[in-house]
Structure 1
Amino acid sequence: MVYVPEGQFLSRIGPTEFLKDLETFVGADAVQEWKKLLDAVIPMSAAAMALPPLSIRGDLGILSTAAGRYAPSLLKSFIQMGPQGALGATKLLRPFQEIVDSLGLKNPFVRNWIDLLCFLLAGVKSDGALSAEMVYMFAEWYKPGCLLEYPLGGTGAIIDALVSGIENFGGRIALRSHVEKILIENGRAVGVKLQSGQVVRAKKAVVSNASMWDTLDLLPPDVVPKSYEDKVKATPQCDSFMHLHLGFDVENAREDLGIHHIVVDDWNKGVDGEQNVVLISVPSVLSKDLAPPGKHILHAYTPGTEPFSLWEGMDRKSADYRRLKEERSEVMWKAVELALGPKFSREKCDVKLVGTPLTHKRFLRRNRGTYGPAIKAGEATFPGQATPIPQLFCCGDSTFPGIGVPAVAASGAIVANTLVSVSQHSELLDAVGI
């Protein structure tokens, strides 16, 4: 469900359902503008999708695995788009706002909705979101026949599958093995030293999926080029999060409860304004095995809009910290009450956990609890996976393609592809049928 100043509606994917909501809550002009947007970006999605992210690698082998393998499909997509569409595809590496502006879209709700989608996906509004990413996702959400899938067993099932994949090929996952520093010998990354004192040597390379700022802190200062250090420190950061985790009886929520909810208080505050947007997920609506019988679990959060400066230096055991947690979590409680209906009661919750930017920093090892780099398309680009230090690679939301689960997964695949031969990489592409 979506709760916006104009009203509340169940936002469905596909090309026509959202048009009905626009007609009801906004008006005919919004419908026409949305059709105009889809007519422009859906054809462009062929170009955005013609080069699978899994084909990319960080060396010259990309000429074989990507350019050579997919050049025919790229060319075909450009031909099908026609001259005007092909010309529009040149905007894929520019901010999405440029496409929106070029179409003359003026309706405030349409512009705000686009900004909201961009911000929730990429951490920046349409003036900073990469067009290629948004065009790709618009096709996933709004093209005919599209589906939104949710894994049985929740996101934990995806983690279990990844663990199986690693272990089935001889890999090992070490938990509670906190890295103290990355070891550099003769200018090359050769392993890591854990806080326990144990040293883990690398056979081929060290790959860090920590943020660029946290990775920098793991390196000996004397081996890092000043230009690289300065660039990392100058990269702007997204804000942090407030979290609310709840467990409660099924009977304390509306019977038609959906899994996902978005609550926007005031468009004038901006979708990136603090305390203005709250996202809510109740995964036990679809996967009942995620909670005990008769119970629901819920996660609500403010999407990267909580300033770390409000919390910096606070003692987590202090009364001031507890008071600030109560104050800053109120917006999430109110959003949950709106989404779950009149039967919901805070007092009846079995589990009530509030997370702050300090929680985010501590448990996710994120510098200042940040969502990630606030890199705007058109002003800067996300760095690649290679670093100035040989045998040290980075992946995650500090690298290309950027923020968000799909982008982060692609960045990890790029590093993995780079560390194997072109023939092995090609065999993988054949095996998955792309």
Structure 2
Amino acid sequence: MIRAAAATDKSHDTEVVVIGAGIGGLCAGALLAKYGKKVTVVEAHDVPGGAAHSWHRDGFTFESGPSLYSGMSRWPTTNPCGQVLHALDEPLECVYYNTWMCHLPEGSFLTEVGNDQFIDVLEKYVDDVDGINAADEWRRLKELMKPLAGASAALPPSAVRTDPFAAVTLARFVPGLLKAAPVLPEIMAPYSKFLDKNEIKHPFIRNWMEVLCFLLSGAPATGTLAAEIGYMFDDWYRPNSTLEFPVGGSEAIVGALVRGLEKNGGRLMLKSRVEEILVTNGRASGIKLRGGAVINASAAVISNATVWDTLPMLPEAAKAGEHCGEDEAKRSATREWVKKCEDTEMCESFMHLHLGIDASGLPDDLEIHHIYVEDWSAGVTAPQNMVLVSIASVLDPSLAPEGKHVIHAYTPGNEPLDIWDGLDRNSDEYKRLKEERSQVLWRAVEKAIPDVRKRVEMSFVGTPLTQKRFQRRHRGTYGGTGWITPETDTVPITTASTPIDGLLCVGDSNFPGPGVPSVAAHGWSAAHELTSFWEQCKMLDKVAP
């Protein structure tokens, strides 16, 4: 378990202060420390990790966030988080596997990554529709995806800058970018356009791709960049590809980032809630913590809080652009940025079911991951329609006492926010709703372990209000969505910088695609806003595959 003692006197001077020890904030902070910056990361919770934090009860390790990983430990990798760990010289011990269970309207079956076993599944479980054979369509789709997969891997986030020196850091990738040029417009458009253009019509294949889009981006194919699916195909459907589970769970990733921060001179302060972002002489100059401590930051303030939680920390005058003095263009840009943050579409939230169970008599080959869909016609984004189940102790027995299993079931970003707004967590109404909305989670777990209710020794149900409380996320949202603009079917350029000098924002509310790879990529972006191009070039020699 990662813990840091509260500082006796939290007030101090630093170069960069990071608000929030989520994956994005830790990546940015640890990389900047590696680049030689003096960095302090502050976190309101008593453990780091944000949406990826975990907690412990009676020998069980319960994880609040992601459970599906790849490209984190083996080198080379195109996973931005794997690249950060490599940059920090923090190897991650993982267990490798390539299977997961699917419980779909067509039936329950095992599928694999890294080979063509999915073809066998399609031939056994999925019927032809209007003369279209699902296996044949999948083979065709895999061939069509090869150029997109190559293009998605052509430019690592570690190479990106937003100043003229980008020409230097990007130079080594020009051959790959030129090769990818014909499909670059396609990877920066909705994946649904790619499916439509190539006449992918079999209902099951379309539904399966909707599942993968939603797992990666929290949005359907109409709101998912083709680049994200290209990355996934490159990572999952190459011959002999595997998935990875970190020994110790998500806490191991968080721990590696914290070590990377601290061994390079950075500082982590837990139980340190930010009340205000200080703006002095037109720029973000530090933060004030609850209790009055002040941390001055000479270079930058990076907020890993959501944009909706960041705005209330800013002085009203700064949000109105008054810090810009007579520079009307900058005043206007600041007001526009505030409006954009306020209007950013929120992804819905999660329901969580955490169980510690007796594993006596359960099969040794029980799968770690199970995907459950109740009704294709409702759509994967429909509330209560899709559930992910992770039985992490199957691969890492250290996460549960001997003879036990720990289970995390969750609805992945499809739990409505509005039905929970304003509820008192101690009220009977809240308890009834919690019980009602958790039943789909139980149904999903029962697909994997039919008698699970008899085995339960410990159980917790989490709601959007739980996320709001422990992760300090506005309304308990999963992050941002709606990145693709209907007018152009493209994603706007999103950087960590803001019109307020010295203030950067990272994380899933300010960068397309919630999830570990995306927020790690944004961590790279923030670090390179504050790093010289020659330091970045030296790092590229180390991390660019």
TM-score (norm 1): 0.94
| Residue matched to 2:470 | 363
| Residue matched to 1:312 | 421
What value does the CA root-mean-square deviation take over the aligned residues?
1.6
| Residue matched to 1:157 | 252
| Residue matched to 1:277 | 386
* Structure with the higher fraction of residues in helix conformation: 1
| Residue matched to 2:109 | 9
How far has the Cα of 1:401 moved from its partner?
4.2
Q: Describe the shift of the 1:422–1:124 C-alpha distance in structure 2 as closer, same or farther (beyond 3 A).
A: same
- Choose the corresponding residue for 1:264, options 373, 381, 406: 373
SS at match of 1:170: coil
Aligned length: 423
Q: Describe the shift of the 1:103–1:329 C-alpha distance in structure 2 as closer, same or farther (beyond 3 A).
A: same
1:393-404 map, 5 Å: 393-404=504-515
SS at match of 2:278: strand
SS at match of 1:309: coil
User: Do the aligned partners of 2:160 and 2:525 also contact (CA within 8 Å) in 1?
Assistant: yes
| Residue matched to 1:137 | 232
* Structure with the higher fraction of residues in strand conformation: 2
Is 1:98 aligned with 2:193?
A: yes
Structure-1 separation of matches of 2:513 and 2:410 = 21
- Choose the corresponding residue for 2:538, options 410, 424, 427: 427
How far has the Cα of 1:300 moved from its partner?
0.7
Bigger shift: 301-310 or 223-232? 223-232
Is 1:34 aligned with 2:141?
A: no
User: Do the aligned partners of 1:95 and 1:378 also contact (CA within 8 Å) in 2?
Assistant: no
Structure-2 separation of matches of 1:143 and 1:89 = 21
User: Do the aligned partners of 1:183 and 1:190 also contact (CA within 8 Å) in 2?
Assistant: yes
1:198-237 map, 5 Å: 198-224=293-319, 225-237=334-346
| Residue matched to 2:62 | none
| Residue matched to 1:25 | 125
User: Do the aligned partners of 2:497 and 2:529 also contact (CA within 8 Å) in 1?
Assistant: no
Unpaired segments ≥5 residues, structure 2 = 1-100, 320-333
| Residue matched to 2:158 | 54
Q: Which amino acid in 1 is paired with 2:372?
A: V
Is 1:188 aligned with 2:283?
A: yes
Q: Describe the shift of the 1:226–1:252 C-alpha distance in structure 2 as closer, same or farther (beyond 3 A).
A: farther
| Residue matched to 1:389 | 500
SS at match of 1:384: coil
User: Do the aligned partners of 2:480 and 2:512 also contact (CA within 8 Å) in 1?
Assistant: no
| Residue matched to 1:166 | 261
Q: Describe the shift of the 1:50–1:366 C-alpha distance in structure 2 as closer, same or farther (beyond 3 A).
A: same
Structure-2 separation of matches of 1:389 and 1:4 = 48
Structure-2 separation of matches of 1:65 and 1:382 = 18
User: Do the aligned partners of 2:114 and 2:237 also contact (CA within 8 Å) in 1?
Assistant: yes
Q: Which amino acid in 2 is paired with 1:206?
A: V
User: Do the aligned partners of 2:105 and 2:375 also contact (CA within 8 Å) in 1?
Assistant: yes
Q: Describe the shift of the 1:88–1:58 C-alpha distance in structure 2 as closer, same or farther (beyond 3 A).
A: closer
Q: Describe the shift of the 1:89–1:432 C-alpha distance in structure 2 as closer, same or farther (beyond 3 A).
A: closer
Structure-2 separation of matches of 1:305 and 1:219 = 30
Identical positions, percent: 47
Q: Describe the shift of the 1:400–1:321 C-alpha distance in structure 2 as closer, same or farther (beyond 3 A).
A: closer
Structure-1 separation of matches of 2:530 and 2:523 = 11
How far has the Cα of 1:433 moved from its partner?
5.0
SS at match of 1:352: strand
Structure-2 separation of matches of 1:405 and 1:198 = 31
| Residue matched to 1:70 | 173
Q: Describe the shift of the 1:151–1:165 C-alpha distance in structure 2 as closer, same or farther (beyond 3 A).
A: same
Q: Describe the shift of the 1:292–1:265 C-alpha distance in structure 2 as closer, same or farther (beyond 3 A).
A: same
- Choose the corresponding residue for 2:455, options 348, 351, 355: 348
Structure-2 separation of matches of 1:153 and 1:336 = 22
Structure-1 separation of matches of 2:104 and 2:432 = 29
Structure-1 separation of matches of 2:439 and 2:227 = 37
Cα displacement string for residues 121-179 of structure 1 (whole angstroms, at most 9, x for unaligned residues): 10111111011111111121112232222222222111111111001100011000011
Bigger shift: 326-335 or 347-356? 347-356
Q: Which amino acid in 2 is paired with 1:96?
A: Y
How far has the Cα of 1:87 moved from its partner?
3.2
TM-score (norm 2): 0.75
SS at match of 1:397: coil
Structure with more relative contact order (C-alpha pairs < 8 Å, separation 6 or more): 2
